[in-house]
Amino acid sequence: MTTTREAGDAPAILALADGRVFRGQAFGARTTVVGEVVFNTAMAGYQEIVTDPSYRGQLVCLTVPEVGNVGCNPEDRESIRFGAEGLIVRALSPVVSNWRATTSLSEMLSSRGVPGIAEIDTRALTRHLREQGAVMGALSTDGTEPEALVARAKAAGSMEGRGLAHEVSTRESYAWSEPTWHTTAAPADVHVVVVDFGVKLNILRHLADRGARVTVVPSTTDADAILALRPDGVLLSNGPGDPAALHDVIANVAALLGRAVTLPVFGICLGHQLLSLALGGRTYKLPFGHHGGNHPVRDDMHRAVRITSQNHGFAVDARSLDGAGGARVTHVNLFDDTVAGLRLNDRPLFGVQYHPEASPGPHDASGLFDDFLAAVRGYAARPVS
């Protein structure tokens, strides 16, 4: 059972598998959780980060010095049920001041069963992760002793080999029509099927903004079931974990690509990795991943550099794309030259290793949804024999 904890009313401990221990103050839920510790460099958007299903199995350290000052609200959550296992911050604001706020960060975390730790040196933790790579950790706000927490962190398995998408996917198909909170949805004239591997709600909102009738289906949905819905386009969503562990999904995506060669397909983050694997490519684990809203990406398609929102721990091996179904790299992360996007030369299929829907982050790449919907409308208008 979990209960609300306000920052300062109880101690909290973060223990890493390598033996390093950080002591701070508890907030959020009273519990103990284990996960991979990663850092996120975004300057805003803590609610969207915590509620992003791509953080399943991870404890998120925010590098921004203070969080919580604008509270939380229902419109800005990225998932109703899933997200980060725990939150690590330098300072939690004692005051909530924003006209859209309906609850505090601590109360929101408690309602989701998520613990938080404040008043630790997040700079030291971030430097440690930069030097050592992402490590497993245990976060406790219920009084568990440090030695026991280190042991739990050591016993936890790596994120490699963990196919977590099925854990955060919807169990039933559903329709979506809600636009972004400040926008009115355009009249729907095309049908997009979104395969949910941990989809962020803002992806669905952006599709509705642009006049798509959206059907969200479970991660286990096979090619026959997707095509039976008569989509004009398919979007493979973001999600958590190791893409190479999702053998059933890779087979389903490969079957879809083989059966519907002119159907537009767009992959975002995990969806991009699954596209690559279905085409015969390979993925690998990054040392500490890409998590933040300030990643510059070179877009070779439009001859531009865009600042992007990113959240992933795995990447596509560029060398593996040589000869992989006609795929070519179209976007490059300028921090480390990793693959940030691909497309096929002879069909409307493309993917990006970042978040065009942002939430949080810059809106530089939101035009990718326009590109996708243009391809979708082109497919819908094709002559049918």
Q: DSSP letter string over 95-154?
A: ----TT--B-HHHHHHHTT-EEEESS-HHHHHHHHHHH--EEEEEESS---HHHHHHHHH
pLDDT score recorded for residue 5: 44
The highest-level CATH class for domain 4-155 is: alpha beta
Residue 11 one-letter amino acid: P
pLDDT score recorded for residue 299: 96
User: pLDDT grade, residue 7 (50/70/90)?
Assistant: low
Distance, in Å, from the CA atom of 319 to the CA atom of 324, rounded to the nearest integer, reads 10
Percent of the chain with pLDDT over 90: 91
pLDDT score recorded for residue 185: 77
Distance, in Å, from the CA atom of 362 to the CA atom of 294, rounded to the nearest integer, reads 8
Q: Which residues pair with 316 in a beta bridge?
A: 283
Which residues participate in catalysis according to the annotation?
269, 355, 357
Distance, in Å, from the CA atom of 61 to the CA atom of 123, rounded to the nearest integer, reads 10
- 215 φ/ψ sector (left φ>0, alpha ψ -120 to 50, else beta): beta
Please report, to the nearest 10 degrees, the dihedral formed by the alpha carbons of residues 196, 197, 202, 203 taken in order: -70
pLDDT score recorded for residue 190: 98
> Stretch 305-309: mean pLDDT, rounded?
97
User: pLDDT grade, residue 6 (50/70/90)?
Assistant: low
Distance, in Å, from the CA atom of 276 to the CA atom of 267, rounded to the nearest integer, reads 9
| Residue 202: strand, helix, or coil | helix
pLDDT tens digit string along 202-245? 999 999 999 999 999 999 999 999 999 999 999 999 999 999 99
> Stretch 157-165: mean pLDDT, rounded?
95
Domain map (residue ranges) of the chain: 4-155, 165-380
Give the CB-side neighbour count of residue 216, counting CA atoms within 13 A: 22
> Stretch 178-204: mean pLDDT, rounded?
93
Q: Which two tokens stand for residue 314?
A: 């795995």
Report pTM. Answer: 0.95
CATH code reported for the domain at 165-380: 3.40.50.880
For residue 313, the Cα-to-chain-centroid distance in whole angstroms is 10
pLDDT tens digit string along 86-141? 999 999 999 999 999 999 999 999 999 999 999 999 999 999 999 999 999 999 99
Distance, in Å, from the CA atom of 376 to the CA atom of 299, rounded to the nearest integer, reads 21
Q: Write down the mean pLDDT value for the chain.
A: 95
pLDDT score recorded for residue 135: 97
Listed in sequence order, the DSSP H helices in the chain are: 46-50, 105-111, 122-132, 146-155, 165-168, 201-209, 223-228, 247-259, 270-278, 367-380
